[in-house]
Structure formats: structure tokens, C-alpha cells
Amino acid sequence: MKCFVRFILLSIALSVMHQPANLWGANGPVVPVKDTVTMVDLGAKSCIPCKMMAPILEELKAEYEGRAAVIFIDVWKDRSQGLRFGVQAIPTQIFYDKHGKEVYRHVGFMDKKQIKELLDMLLEGK
């Protein structure tokens, strides 16, 4: 009986230790960013459409610095983030208004013009 109890306690301890910290938000990105229009792109660095979007996201991150947050999360590196955001296919883009409310979700490649239109609309409060 003692062995069984020790086994259960050890199993619980190991399962807690191996959970990604992002599951609790300790080390993961804070999404949406408080009081800020936020766009999060959930993808993977090795998926083709995600690779095509990477330079666009970098440009937008610089262009909207101080006005909107543009965040990329690799869901193949941290699968808990895919679950957290309900991702069914990548890339998935989620847009939040400055109050933290999800206002738009898109699956697949999204070009710079489309992203800018949504970010500008959200910044204007529409």
C-alpha cells in the first residue's frame, strides 16, 4: 500500500513539473496586451504560410510600436498555446480591441494590407 501511495504522489509531482509554465501564464506572452489593440499570430516557424507572414509581422511590429501589439506564438514549440487559443489550423490570427475583447479571427495566410486595415480600424475604435 505504501508503494502504491508513493507511486501516485511521485506521478502527480512529475506531471506538475513537466507542464509548460505557459499553461499558467507565468512565462508565456500576455495576450491580449492590456489597454492595447493586439494582434496575435499563432503558427509555426516551419509552416510555409507562417514563413511567408514572418517578415510582414516584423514590419508591422515596428510600424505599430507604441500603438498596437503584434505577437507571434509558435504553437508547435508550445502546444499548450494552441489549446489556449482554440487553434484548429495554422496560421491563425486573432485581433483584440483595446478592451481585450476578441473581435476578429482568421485562419490562413493574411497579407499586410488586410492586417493593417484591421489594426487601423481597431485603433480608430470602430
Q: Write out the catalytic residue numbers.
A: 47, 50
Distance of CA 58 to the CA centre of its chain: 15
Residue 65 backbone phi and psi in degrees, to 5: -55, 130
* Amino acid (1-letter code) at residue 109: F
**Rounded CA gap, 87 and 117, in Å?**
23
* Amino acid (1-letter code) at residue 66: G
- CB neighbours of residue 22 within 10 Å: 17
Asked if 41 and 73 count as a contact pair (C-beta separation under 8 A), the reply is: yes
